[in-house]
Amino acid sequence: MGVKVGATIDLSAIKHNLSVTKQLAPGAKIAAVVKADAYGHGLLPTVSTLNDSDLYAVARLEEARNLRLAGIQKPILLLSGYIDKKELSYAIKNDLQLVIHHPVQLELLAAAEQDIKKPLTIWLKLDTGMHRLGLNPSAFIKAYQQLSSSHKIEKVITMTHFSSADEIEYGKTTSQLERLLECRQQLAAMSNGVDLSKLETSTANSAGIIAWPESHGDWIRPGLMLYGVNPIQAHSELSRKLIPAMTFSSQVIAVNTIGHGESVGYNEQWTSTRSSRIGVIAIGYGDGYPFKAKEGTPVLINGHRVPLVGKVSMDLITVDITDFPDVAVGDSVTLWGKDLPVTEIANCADTIPYELLTGLTSRVTFNYVYDTSSWLNKQSELDDPPTEKAVI
Ligand SMILES: *Cc1c(COP(=O)(O)O)cnc(C)c1O
């Protein structure tokens, strides 16, 4: 019914991308990052395809709660930790693993000891230069000592987060890794009996996994790449292996001809330099298509890359189809997805793929498919398929 403005989510692509991720870091356990509604793909359908991961990482308590309410038993990590007693108690009740990134959280934890029935796993976060969340080295060592002396703590994993892992020529990631290494060595020197080979680490997001193999450690934390988007455009080989899971599409709802020198859309931002056919597509910033998409941003119609003209409106965009006489009302239009990378659209709109994927609005209909044909094709292209995982 009505115009088909929708996001089609290919769940088999997510499963495939997980196996590509595993091949890049064969020795590491996987904390699959499913925050922000699984990067806009839908939390529950997405996790249903991520059985082969070891843990789900979310940013907020509500996200963890939705997973537990759905009966998910897998370990869940709360990346942002907790800010008060109430949040901590809720996290404990829901059997969450917690990031500790601030000394205040240690005080809250000590005060809650008696509520902890099942010993906790804590991810202790060192600030190695991102300066967002994380302890400084002396607070980190002190925190470790406090945690390791409590019988309510089962395990501590040391972690940090990279600020610039997508910048492959820039030394920041190396320096962040060195700071973590140094701090761990200091910790071992100061705490008798700590065996660093047993104290697990986690540093790598998608860009770290792809570009910094030395960062893989015990746990990797892939987000974007699970959804088929490569954060490092220089690694084009990988882009061919990943399958974009989201295809965002709509339809042409009108085709009009305008004369030479006529303008299209709000504020006459674009003016024709010839007699032109203009296609009008039912998509706009009210759906999550970026307002800032500039002239020439491609959309895909019948296999043609057709340029955007004029300003993006709330419900509509306009494209120049003068060179594509076959384009007609009712034709399906891909805004991004398979054959039109979301990263390319993000570049045209001065933003990042993360923002576009997480930005679809409630007006957009989601449709879930399991497109095994594309998946099996790609799967056979992988260098060394992990056999037991490659079966649907
Ligand atoms: C979001 C997030 C990730 C995943 O990052 P991607 O770039 O999407 O792979 C990993 N670790 C932390 C702490 C995060 O917040």
pLDDT in tens, 74-127: 999 999 999 999 999 999 999 999 999 999 999 999 999 999 999 999 999 999
Q: Say which residue the tokens 């007609």 belong to.
A: 328
With a 6 Å cutoff on the Cβ, whether 22 touches ligand 1 is no
Pick from 164, 179, 147: which is nearest to 212 by CA? 164
> Is residue 388 predicted with pLDDT exceeding 70?
no
On the question of pLDDT at 211 being above 70, the answer is: yes
193 Cβ neighbours under 8 A, 6+ residues apart: none
Whether 144 is a known active-site residue: answer no
Q: Which atom of ligand 1 is nearest to the CA of 59?
A: 15
Gyration radius of the chain over CA positions: 24
pLDDT at 384: 44
Could you tell me which residue, 284 or 383, shows the higher pLDDT?
Answer: 284
Q: Tell which atom from ligand 1 comes closest to the C-alpha of 159.
A: 13
33 lines ligand 1 (CB under 6 A): yes
Show Cβ contacts of residue 392 under 8 Å, excluding neighbours closer than 6 positions.
12, 15, 370, 372, 375
Q: Which of 35, 125, 241, 378 is flagged as catalytic?
A: 35
Q: Is 266 a catalytic residue?
A: yes
Ligand 1, residue 231: give the atom nearest the CA: 7
Question: Average of pLDDT values for 211-219?
Answer: 97
pLDDT level of residue 371 (50, 70, 90 thresholds): confident
Percent of the chain with pLDDT over 90: 91
223 ligand 1 Cβ < 6 A: yes
Which residue type is seen at 326?
D
| pLDDT grade for 192, boundaries at 50, 70 and 90 | confident
Q: Is the CB of 318 under 6 A from ligand 1?
A: no
**What is the rounded end-to-end Cα distance, in angstroms, of the chain?**
32
Query: Which helix (H) or strand (E) segment is 19 a member of?
Result: helix 11-24
The pLDDT, as a whole number, for residue 191 is 84
pLDDT tens, residue by residue, 267-325: 999 999 999 999 999 999 999 999 999 999 999 999 999 999 999 999 999 999 999 99
Using the predicted structure, report yes or no on whether residue 380 has a pLDDT greater than 80. no
pLDDT of residue 361: 98
In residues, how long is the chain? 392
DSSP per residue, 20-62:
HHHHHSTTSEEEEE-HHHHHHT-HHHHHTT-TTSSEEEESSHH
Average pLDDT, whole number, for the chain? 94
- 120 C-alpha vs ligand 1 centroid, how far in Å? 22
206 lines ligand 1 (CB under 6 A): yes
